[in-house]
Amino acid sequence: MAEAEATRIMAEATRIMVGVNQSTIKGYPHASISSRGAFEWTLQKIVRSNTSGFKLLFLHVQVPDEDGFDDMDSIFASPDDFKRMERRDKARGLHLLEYFVNRCHEVGISCEAWIRKGDPKEVICHEVKRVQPDLLVVGSRGLGPFQRVFVGTVSEFCAKHAECPVITIKRRADEAPQDPVDD
């Protein structure tokens, strides 16, 4: 590579997309354990003190069985009830992104965050294609093959299909909740 080209590339920040989701643990506030783990790992091990060299792009994909986990308690009697639900889901997604954007602000690293709806693994790969980050970081619960059959793994799909390098950060064993399928 010519030196001028190398300098130009160095001048542009490394853009790291981080897939984030909410905790599945009822009453547990905000980001999932593995999302937070993946984010903090990225800060500590990759970004380090070089905050101007990186930009973080947070993507949250909203999916019915994740964001509507307590729908069992709701009664729908009018079209407005559905709108209210939608607003609540949206508020939750915003709350999640706010957590990560605030952390970036504290650390002094530039970032962007947005929400999409759909199947997380498909949407993440689609957004990678659209946004073309240098790197995708996703957290993983680090489940065994038996557990994976039932819950699927977004990280495995992305590692295979995303059109950029992918790092999967497994949740630390000492951070796993009582039921390892929770996160």
User: What string marks each residue from 9 to 38 as x (binds its own copies by CB under 8 A) or -?
Assistant: xx---x------------------------
Instruction: Say how many CA atoms lie within 13 Å of 178 toward its Cβ.
Output: 2
Does the footprint of its own copies cover residue 53 (CB under 8 A)? Answer: yes
| Interacting residue with its own copies among 167, 171, 176, 183 (CB under 8 A) | 167
Identify which of residues 128 and 167 has a Cβ nearer to its own copies in the complex.
Answer: 167
Minimum Å distance from CB 79 to its own copies? 46
- Contact between 68 and 137 under an 8 Å Cβ cutoff? The reply is no
Only segment of 95-103, 114-122, 163-171, 174-182 that touches its own copies (CB under 8 A):
163-171
Residue 152 or 165 having the CB closest to its own copies: 165
Q: Which of residues 103-142 bind its own copies (CB under 8 A)?
A: 134-135
Among 28, 35, 39, 41, binds its own copies (CB under 8 A): 41
Whose CA is closest to 158, among 11, 19, 56, 64? Answer: 19
Q: Considering only 40-48, 64-72, 81-89, 146-154, which stretch makes contact with its own copies by CB under 8 A? A: 40-48
Binding footprint of its own copies on the chain (CB under 8 A): 1, 6, 9-10, 14, 40-41, 44-46, 48-50, 53, 134-135, 159, 165-170
